[in-house]
Amino acid sequence: MKTPATTTSGPSPRLSTLALGAIGIVFGDIGTSPLYTMAETLGTHGATPTPAAVLGVLSLIFWALMIVVSLKYVTFVMRADNKGEGGIMALMALAQRSLGSGSARGRWLLAVLAIFGASLFYGDGVITPAITVLGAVEGLKVAEPALAQFVVLIALLILAGVFALQRYGTHIVGRMFAPVMVLWFLVLAVLGIRQIVLHPQVLAALNPGYAFQFFMRHGYGAFIALGGVVLALTGAEALYADMGHFGKKPIRLAWFGFVLPSLLLNYFGQGALLLSNPAAIEGPFYHMVPVSLLYPMIALATAAAVIGSQAVISGAFSMTREAMSLGYSPRMAVVHTSREMSGQVFVPWVNRLLMVMVFGAVLGFQSSDNLGAAYGIAVTGTMTVTTLLALVVARKHWHWNWFWVTLVGVLLLTVDLAFFAANALKIAHGGWFPLVLGVLLFIMMTTWRRGRELVLRGLKQGGLALAPFIESIEAHPPLRVPGTAVFLTANLHAVPHALLHNLKHNKVLHERNVLLTVEILETPMAEPDERIHIVPLSGNFFSLTLRFGFAEDPNVPQALTQCARDGLGFDMMDTTFFLSRETVIADKRRPGMAFWRDKLFVILSRNAMPATAFFQIPGNRLIELGTQVEI
């Protein structure tokens, strides 16, 4: 059952409470990166854990966290909030709005970039739960090698529980997870401090010179090692995507005040351990743990890994909702899970699809090492797209001069493209998996967008002009029946098909007829003065436009009750809604899309949520009349 959403204009939860919830949800992904980052970078990517290599990799991890997460995402990109909403789709809408309606080519290019970045983010949403849970459960191999054969099965059972919890909502899941993650980060810090105290020379890695020396000594091997360093950044995109769930201030407070220090202490602790015991590279995280606490640590790490999956899962829900509203995804059921934060949503269909794909990744790759090869390409691709869109916003929306845009762009894109290039080397070894997922989703999203444009074009071409029709009605009035008829239409200047069918077959018109169109804006919330636009026409006809933000639920009956203040009151018990349900037929003779994309759109259209359910129109007040549209 849907919980009514409220806007953020009412009383907001306390900052500390939201920051605690953010620790439980937003930082779970990046917080579990210490489980596998050092082992993947120094053990798998060509470098050996010599003291110079350890300090060089630590320096890379430190400066990557500072530049990519702290500077780019938490400080720069999170400024580009679209009235509180984050994520690549919200950023695209903000960038497009900054360009204005006159730059059609620029808006199209930004849309293509954003859709590709969003598609890669979904690929990240598949790999992240698989690699984090597997990485945690694989601690059993250190504690008891004989248990290795059960790692995959245990990981699948845990992941099934993760996806089963999603229906209860981000705020409840966050409340459950926050104490665990607070304990997790405290343990990370304590484990790191124990090793740093023993080997304080590891703090020399704060000097970026060690990172440069690492590249000078290892050359191509150091470049390959960047593919492992990027694992320390996993979850950075989710920070931005989940901004609508908690807000930027709680996320920034939690990051700088608690999460970042804990992560750095643990990474440097692992480095200190490797300086004294290079053989620990097979599992430096678990080798920091006292033997007597190994099993409790595996349990805590597994719980943290479960929570780590939450950031990208909730981010995928938010992004899907925005994609639906902006016209890049078929309509699906969206469940609001919080009365305080309207951005906290659950999308059942996406939850099921992600679960199936994550299970496939675990069964196909079998270990976190194998998944490490598949990881990174999706993350770095999305990071690069986010940087490009944010630079457009900085130039066009914030009106930065070209000097600062170029300076920031060169710094951030150099880092992003270096990571992307390093991970591109892994395409043949598993990196193809998220790329294939991304391409498939890109095709689906662009096909849906283009297909809807073709359907609307077909409906508009086949419609009669409204003004002459009303004139003929006035000249030859049909029988009028009491009540109000609301006709949903995409073209307010043409006669809706449902109106024509009703007049043709029933030989009557209602006493008052309202032609209604729903527009989705490029802002998360519609302002009160732009929500409703009414144009009285002759013959007791009215043209009505309702506008909603892309982060709102388009509740048409509720919006109609607000029309009375503009002189057009509605009695819902005396109002009938008419809608033309389009049956889309693929016709290879018609231009627009390739025939196979036409067929794909037909399949998506048949399985999409009906527009009446999406607009929350009650079924007992609805009459649907069918019409065929060829594309």
418-465 pLDDT tens trace: 998 888 887 877 778 888 888 888 899 889 988 888 887 777 766 688
Q: What stretch of H or E contains 605? A: helix 595-607
**What CATH number belongs to 15-430?**
1.20.1740
Residue 111 has pLDDT above 60, yes or no: yes
* Whether 372 contacts 389, CB under 8 Å: no
The pLDDT, as a whole number, for residue 55 is 93
The residue with tokens 């999203």 is 445
Q: Which range, of 50-59, 380-389, 451-460, 564-573, averages the lowest pLDDT?
A: 451-460
More confident call, 518 vs 305: 518
Mean pLDDT of 97-103: 74
Q: Which range, of 61-65, 97-101, 479-483, averages the lowest pLDDT?
A: 97-101
Find the helix packing angle between 151-165 and 348-365, rounded to 10°: 170
Mean pLDDT of 569-595: 83
* Whether 349 contacts 355, CB under 8 Å: no
Query: Which tokens go with 572?
Result: 């819902």
SS3 520: strand
Q: 10 Å Cβ neighbour count for 435?
A: 18
The pLDDT, as a whole number, for residue 4 is 37
Structure confidence by residue, pLDDT tens digits, 209-219: 999 998 888 87
The pLDDT, as a whole number, for residue 60 is 93
Residue 600 has pLDDT above 70, yes or no: yes
**268 pLDDT band (50/70/90 cuts)?**
very high
The residue extents of the domains of the chain are: 15-430, 461-630
Residue 510 has pLDDT above 80, yes or no: yes
* Whether 308 contacts 160, CB under 8 Å: no
* CA-based R_g, the chain, Å: 27
CA of 528: how far to CAs of 336, 486, 522, 565, in Å? 22, 22, 15, 12
* Residue 483 phi, psi (nearest 5): 110, 180
User: 10: exposed, middle or buried (C-beta count within 10 Å: 0-12, 13-18, 19+)?
Assistant: exposed
User: 453: exposed, middle or buried (C-beta count within 10 Å: 0-12, 13-18, 19+)?
Assistant: middle
Alpha carbon distance 100, 109 (integer Å): 13
Query: Of 312, 313, 332, nearest to 322 (Cα)?
Result: 332
Query: Which tokens go with 220?
Result: 């191509």
The pLDDT, as a whole number, for residue 171 is 59
The pLDDT, as a whole number, for residue 484 is 93
Q: Which range, of 466-470, 546-550, 576-580, 626-630, averages the lowest pLDDT?
A: 626-630
Type of residue found at 467 = A
Structure confidence by residue, pLDDT tens digits, 278-301: 888 878 988 898 888 888 888 888
The pLDDT, as a whole number, for residue 44 is 58
Query: Of 302, 266, 304, 305, nearest to 287 (Cα)?
Result: 266
DSSP state letter for 564: G
Q: Give the percent of the chain with pLDDT over 70.
A: 92
Q: 10 Å Cβ neighbour count for 558?
A: 12
Find the helix packing angle between 348-365 and 294-325, rounded to 10°: 130
The pLDDT, as a whole number, for residue 593 is 84
The residue with tokens 């699809």 is 353
| DSSP assignment of 27-64 | THHHHTGGGTHHIIIIIISS----HHHHHHHHHHHHHH
Query: Which tokens go with 337?
Result: 């899970």
Mean pLDDT of 160-183: 76
* Whether 239 contacts 74, CB under 8 Å: yes
SS3 627: strand
* Whether 118 contacts 319, CB under 8 Å: yes
Query: Of 415, 140, 174, nearest to 302 (Cα)?
Result: 140
Geometric angle at alpha carbon 251, from 66 and 75, rounded to 5°:
40
pTM of structure: 0.75
User: 416: exposed, middle or buried (C-beta count within 10 Å: 0-12, 13-18, 19+)?
Assistant: buried
Mean pLDDT of the chain: 83
Q: 10 Å Cβ neighbour count for 45?
A: 22
